[in-house]
Chains A and B, each alone.
Chain A
Amino acid sequence: DGGITQSPKYLFRKEGQNVTLSCEQNLNHDAMYWYRQDPGQGLRLIYYSQIVNDFQKGDIAEGYSVSREKKESFPLTVTSAQKNPTAFYLCASNFRLAGGYNEQFFGPGTRLTVL
């Protein structure tokens, strides 16, 4: 089955610990994205990557870090510097289209709770 997988589905961490969320896609998509979803705020872009070994900050990158060493993988690390890390995290991907845009496809999400 082609798609985007995120693991784990639920994650609990103590305050002050870094945690890494996994995102893998087998759609051969060029670009990958991380969003954070909070009630009433929709989805907000944390980081995105349009090609391997390159990524850009989104609107709320502070306290997060990413890497893109392989086309199919885009892990997100929530660091202890993130002041309010408890949220639902969504990963997405799409094909890059020169001069245009392709719809994004989304993974099932990881709900992170920091105690």
Chain B
Amino acid sequence: AQSVSQHNHHVILSEAASLELGCNYSYGGTVNLFWYVQYPGQHLQLLLKYFSGDPLVKGIKGFEAEFIKSKFSFNLRKPSVQWSDTAEYFCAVNAQAAGNKLTFGGGTRVLVKP
């Protein structure tokens, strides 16, 4: 079955550390890629998205992600995290062949210690 995989379920790190969250998908063809974040008690919100063009995309709050087509990956990075980055992060894929639907990865809970 086609799927979206996030490698880490839980990540714990200290402030100022660098963060990288992995995301791989198994869809062929054209894809649109997203990272969403869910802060404690808040709505799910979009961090960044890739539709086409430069495979290195920058999002809000200093996050960026790189689309590597050959590796079917869309990893999320932040060079220096803050306590306020504590949240759950979800990778999501819209495969053009699937129409107007999103498939989500299982999520990664990130805890940043002050």
Contacts and interface: CB of A to CB of B under 8 A. Distances in A.
Interface string A78-115: 00000000000010001010001101101111000000
A42 B9 contact: no
A17 interface: no
What class of interface size applies to chain B in its complex with A? 20 to 34
Contacts of B6: 42
Contacts of A100: 51
Contact of A108 (B43, B100, B103, B106): B43
What class of interface size applies to chain A in its complex with B? 20 to 34
A106 to B, nearest CB: 4
Given A42-B105, A103-B34, A94 B9 contact: no
Contacts of A19: none
Given A103-B46, A106-B43, A42 B100 contact: no
A103 B43 CA distance: 15
B100 A94 contact: yes
Contacts of B101: 33, 45, 48, 58
A96 B9 contact: no
Contact of B104 (A43, A96, A107, A109): A43
* A-B CB proximity, top 9 nearest: A42-B104, A106-B44, A43-B104, A42-B106, A101-B94, A42-B107, A101-B32, A108-B43, A42-B105
Interface of A: 31, 33, 35, 40-45, 48, 50, 58, 90, 94, 96, 100-101, 103-104, 106-109
Interface of B: 4, 6, 9, 32, 34, 36, 42-46, 49, 51, 90, 92, 94, 96, 100-107
